[in-house]
Structure 1
Amino acid sequence: MAVPKLRFKEFDGEWFNIKLKKMVKSLDAGVSVNAENTPPENDEFSVLKTSCVSLGCFDTNERKTVKETIEIDRLKEPLLDCSLVMNRSNTPALVGASAFIRIAPKNTFLSDKLWQFKVFDNTNIEWLAFYLSSEKTLVQLRDLATGTSNSMKNITKPDVLNIDLFASQKEEQTKIASFLSTVDEKISQLTQKYQLLSQYKQGMMQKLFSQQIRFKADDGSEFEKWEETSLHTFLCESLIKGSKGNKAKKLTVKLWGKGVIPKNEAFQGSENTQYYKSSAGQLIYGKLDFLNCAFGLIPEYLDGFESTIDAPAFDIDNKIVHPYFLINRFLQKDFYQKNGEEADGSRKAKRINQSVFLAMQIGLPSLEEQTKIANFLSAIDQKIEVMAQQIEQAKTWKKGLLQQMFV
């Protein structure tokens, strides 16, 4: 029988099989316009990026500002309240991704890579948004995607409209949509708290590293002045040779961002390339991604992994500098962007070599004050991590609900 595993008790009977085109009046796309890659301010005209929609979530910040009058006049398909938007062209993982937008940002329009759904009266559009974001439907949509590039796939309007799905009567659709929207609201609240905590940390780091806020010693006395110190004073390059070729897993040199090296940032090495052993606790940076804040402390799960010469690793003298103080100082824009201007090479291959890096300077307080700063920031990070775990748990719960509340 075509019935969901989890159902509200006031409903019974089978769900009916129906083509999506019997529920959807039209899929309407916008147009490609010239726009500035910055979020709009004060209700400026804007066009949505394809990244605005990602697996059931809508990010209002993923918009580009349209300022030229000639481009504003070309804008087509305004984003509506209570709308459903889908990616028709994206990476293999995100093509077909969709999201429900309850309140549309003002003066916002679709690009040519996005569709906006218009539905018939027999369909609750929010219910349909949840249906389309379920893993079963996403797999179906990805299977329809075509394209010669492995990085970009497309789905066509006829293929999407001919999808078969199972639907309930609109009354039950509305009940399901109302329930799942409360789950989304919970995720939204947790996400907002996560963002506020992250913003608080960023604000505190700026004040701490600019010395607007200073800690005091345990006896209540003032700490001494910070001293400008060259990085080579407490960093020592580690060049322990590892294997050549593809015999072991290596660290890839990509933008890790904000001091985090993800578990999946590893790959099988290339033939005849020399790699270097890395150890947990070492500092590592991407020569080619310096300007993008590609720094990290090697975690325990990457102990013994290897990196190329483009991702040098350094031992840290813990008697001079606290590693967590150091990595957070490196994450400040006034460090990596200002010092990144010293990069050598062509525009497409700018790099910061070890000698240039080690000659850089940072303001260094006493180790005791460093430790107080590190402990303070670490406590905030722990709260952020707990919030991130709660968000993931809520998303996992929602994923399970989607699997059980739809046929």
Structure 2
Amino acid sequence: MLVEQKNIPSLRFPEFEGAWEEKKLEEIADVKGGKRIPKGMSLTDVDTGQPYITVSNMENGSVNLDKIKFVPDEAKHKIRNYKILISDIFISVAGTLGLIGIIPQELNNANLTENANKLTNIKCVQAYLLRYLETSYFSRLIENVKTTNAQPKLAIYALQSFKVRSPHENEQQKIAEFLTAVDGKIGLLSKKKDLAERYKKGVMQKLFSQSLRFTNKDGTPYPDWEEKTLGEISEKPMYGMNAAARQFDGENKYIRITDIDEDSRKFVPKPLTSPQGEILDKYYLKVGDIVFARTGASVGKSYLYKEFDGQVAFAGFLIKFSISGANESFVFSQTLTYAFKKWVKVMSMRSGQPGINAEEYQTFSFQLPSQEEQQKIADFLSSLDQKITHISQQLTQAQAFKKGLLQQMFV
């Protein structure tokens, strides 16, 4: 006969045994709120010696020092009792719910926003409690608050009554140290990815400003670049299908604005769907096709079709340009530049909801090199993309590994 063992994790260091103890969070720590700046006063960029932490500063389990503002001198005494220490844990409780972390040493004794609470006077290993709050147990509490309130706010009593299971202190310490090491690897991969993306942006800026040029094999320069419009190097643009999405039929994929990843600009369906009704051949994307979002907050978002994405039809809020007079990868890279973003911002803000139609997209102009130089630039940028993709995959695997650990190492 199998007997269920309660409050014992499925993955555990071999030197430990016995059931974990369950307590309410209020038995482990004091839950206290932050304080808003007095009415009529504003935060300042001037360093007054009293930093103020807002929810928008909270990132990756810590606080972004680059975004910090300060309490004006005239407000210091009015909110002096709402400080947070490096020995505390912050939790955002309004706006973006459930951001948790520990402040860096530089912000010790900073003021804390009214949209966050702090766990203070913690009676267990601080890093252990932080990891416990990263588990699905706490995320379920957050999701419940989101779905039951029109304007979600995590009440102090909900935090106080949240149940935490924990072992003896020495096991807490070992779990915390192990997961901190995993976080270190994730942090290094995140930094590596960020540096690779910044390098690509810098190289693109130099390439497209022509301060950095490729040359022929004999060292001679390629011909001067010529100004072209999108309309001049593509077939007549076409709007997508006016069809609703349905469950994926196993063959025909449907790409909508929301299926284009904001960062990578890859086809990342959420979820994978098919269009309803008959699909005419003209709506299937082919090699050389670029689609653009034509309306809404995502106007200007672009996607270059790749054969490995399969049989993909495009939706009505997208406009297709079939590139025929240039290298499609080179043209697509132009849609990732600051110059293109600036053009989109100006062109789209006509009236009401932002939008750019097919005729307007055709007028976008840029400098175009010879076919050979286009190919070299496209190949070089593609090699950088492959490196970034490889790092991203490593990062995703590390994050998935940590998620699995959180599910198995806690109860």
- Give the TM-score normalised by the residue count of structure 2: 0.82
Give the secondary structure class of the aligned counterpart of 1:174. Answer: helix
Structure 1, unpaired ranges of 5+: none
Are 2:343 and 1:338 aligned?
yes
Report deviation, 1:288.
2.9
Deviation string for 1:363-402 (max 9, x for gaps)?
Answer: 0001110111111111111111111111111111111111
Report deviation, 1:50.
4.8
Report deviation, 1:41.
9.3
Look up the match of 1:135: 136
1:378 is matched with which residue: 382, 390, 404?
Answer: 382
Structure 2, unpaired ranges of 5+: 248-252
Give the secondary structure class of the aligned counterpart of 2:235. Answer: strand
Instruction: Quote the Cα distance in structure 2 between the aligned partners of 1:123 and 1:114.
Output: 21
Give matches, 1:199-278, under 5 Å. 199-239=198-238, 242=241, 244-245=243-244, 251-253=255-257, 256-258=261-263, 260-264=265-269, 277-278=283-284
Partners of 2:48 and 2:72 within 8 A in 1 = no
Give matches, 1:65-144, under 5 Å. 65=69, 77-90=82-95, 95-103=97-105, 105=107, 109-120=111-122, 122-144=123-145
Amino acid at match of 1:131: Y
Are 2:176 and 1:170 aligned?
no
Instruction: Quote the Cα distance in structure 2 between the aligned partners of 1:394 and 1:39.
Output: 37
Identity of aligned residues (%): 24
Q: How many residues are matched?
A: 393
In structure 2, relative to structure 1, the CA distance for the partners of 1:232 and 1:293 (3 Å cut) is closer
Partners of 1:146 and 1:155 within 8 A in 2 = no
- Give the TM-score normalised by the residue count of structure 1: 0.83
Larger displacement relative to structure 2 (330-339 or 153-162): 330-339
Amino acid at match of 1:49: V
Amino acid at match of 2:100: S
Give matches, 1:291-370, under 5 Å. 293-299=300-306, 300-301=308-309, 303-308=311-316, 310-317=317-324, 320-338=325-343, 340-343=345-348, 345-346=350-351, 348-370=352-374
Deviation string for 1:41-68 (max 9, x for gaps)?
Answer: 99994532357256xx446268464586
In structure 2, relative to structure 1, the CA distance for the partners of 1:213 and 1:79 (3 Å cut) is farther
In structure 2, relative to structure 1, the CA distance for the partners of 1:217 and 1:397 (3 Å cut) is same
Instruction: Quote the Cα distance in structure 2 between the aligned partners of 1:244 and 1:142.
Output: 32
Look up the match of 2:55: 49
Look up the match of 1:193: 192
Instruction: Quote the Cα distance in structure 1 between the aligned partners of 2:359 and 2:99.
Output: 45
In structure 2, relative to structure 1, the CA distance for the partners of 1:302 and 1:238 (3 Å cut) is farther
Look up the match of 1:406: 410
